[in-house]
Amino acid sequence: MTISGFNITGSQGKSGIYCSGSDGNITGNKLSHNNYGVCLNDSNRNILEKNEVNNNSLGIYLKNYDNNQLRNNDILGVGIFVESENNATGIYLEPTFRRCTQKCHLLSQYGNKLKT
């Protein structure tokens, strides 16, 4: 599955892109003013790359996932929420990115730009 080159805006209460599949590419999309920019639920081995994710209630939401890659994405606003089956949060970045250190570095080393 490839989702590429879309401009998705204003899907109130829903995700701009919702994926529950595996082995896909979500690249080069512009997602703004959605509930979630991108939601990966029960998804494995997907690549999210070079997406512009701006002014969504939550930028990228990963739930019950394995081995997804986020690379070279521009994220503005509430950035990335990661949740596992036991509801443990791995990374949750609020708009105050300036205060985070190690978690932001972990994401930025793969080219993701987190902006306030």
The count of domains in the chain is: 1
Residue, of 107 and 53, whose pLDDT is higher: 53
Per-residue model confidence (pLDDT) at position 103: 41
Could you tell me the pTM of the whole model? Answer: 0.74
Q: What is the domain range of residue 67?
A: 2-115
SS3 sequence, the chain? Answer: CEEECCEEECCCCCEEEEECCCCCEEECCEEECCCEEEEEECCECCEEECCEEEEECEEEEEECCECCEEECCEEEECCEEEECCCCCEEEECCCCHHHCCHHHHHHHCCCCEEEC
pLDDT tens digit sequence for 14-60 = 999 999 989 999 999 999 999 999 998 888 888 999 999 888 888 88
Average of per-residue pLDDT across 96-105: 40
Q: How confident is the model at residue 115 (pLDDT cuts 50, 70, 90)?
A: low
